[in-house]
Homo-oligomer: A and B are copies of this chain.
């Protein structure tokens, strides 16, 4: 079911990078479409996702599951042929592996994780349809010199650069190491998923190559960020190894750097509704490579 770029493009309901002035506009799409009885998320968890834009499931994976994934992470990080692969991103100014993309196609262990009901089932429940993997990656986030990820809405990029029409996708961050307040945990602005912060500046060609190391376009402005934080505060996704954060595609999120010796490694999986398949980019000359934004819309099979 791999498809070419759709030639008909729906109207752009989320324009960004088209103006010289940033703005905060309201979200047009529902956040939660499913119900508690479908599982695995409870009504409380669905309500929290609806209100805050995320839910933190501490201890979701058992220690032996975490162990298996950590072994896989180290195995992949040590493969010389992957180091030269386009899908492998190095830390800025360093040759330490930062991330490996499309890892669910590289690793059976990650593929099985991606199909797990705790993740894919929750995604189907929230998004109200079958889902496919829009993006997957492992992030090494080593200690000592872990760089920050500046604030951003993933959806802004996925819409502008990848052609994702609606806010009907969610991300799962699966921690393979303990996250405390000091080692650069994921920071989310609660409630920010209900606001769309349009960014300024047009997207140059080939932008993705540098943006995976350091974002220059699709960066929200200070005033909008301050407004969102004023309203919702900042929640730190703190939990043990094996905790899962599910968060809406439009959540404003980021993380500080990490000078502690403690790494913050995770697996990152993005589920998109099969009813929200990519079209041509809404604001970029060319779509990004499919290892970053898949155009294989095959549903994740229910396990």
- Restricting to A199-238, which residues have a CB under 8 Å from any CB of B? 222, 225-226, 229, 234, 236
| One of B150, B222, B256, B259 near A182 (C-beta < 8 A) | B256
CB distance from A288 to the nearest CB of B (A): 24
CB distance from A23 to the nearest CB of B (A): 18
Residues on the B chain within 8 Å of A259, using CB: 148, 150-151, 187, 254-256
Contact, CB under 8 Å: A182 / B234:
yes
Residues on the B chain within 8 Å of A226, using CB: 261
**Chain B residue at minimum C-beta to C-beta distance from A146:** B256
* Contact A229-B184, Cβ < 8 Å, known A222-B144, A256-B256: no
Assembled-state Cα–Cα distance A255/B225 (Å):
22
Residues on the B chain within 8 Å of A257, using CB: 148, 256-257
CB distance from A190 to the nearest CB of B (A): 13
Residues on the B chain within 8 Å of A184, using CB: 256
| Chain B proximity mask over A258-286: 1 for CB below 8 Å, otherwise 0 | 11110000000000000000000000000
CB distance from A261 to the nearest CB of B (A): 4
CB distance from A257 to the nearest CB of B (A): 5
Residues on the B chain within 8 Å of A181, using CB: 181-182, 236
CB distance from A226 to the nearest CB of B (A): 4
Q: Which residues of A contact B (CB under 8 A)?
A: 144, 148, 150-151, 181-182, 184, 187, 222, 225-226, 229, 234, 236, 254-261
- 22 A-B pairs with C-beta separation under 8 A: A144-B222, A144-B225, A148-B257, A150-B259, A151-B259, A181-B181, A181-B236, A182-B187, A182-B234, A182-B236, A182-B256, A184-B256, A187-B259, A187-B260, A222-B261, A226-B261, A229-B260, A254-B259, A255-B259, A256-B258, A256-B259, A257-B257
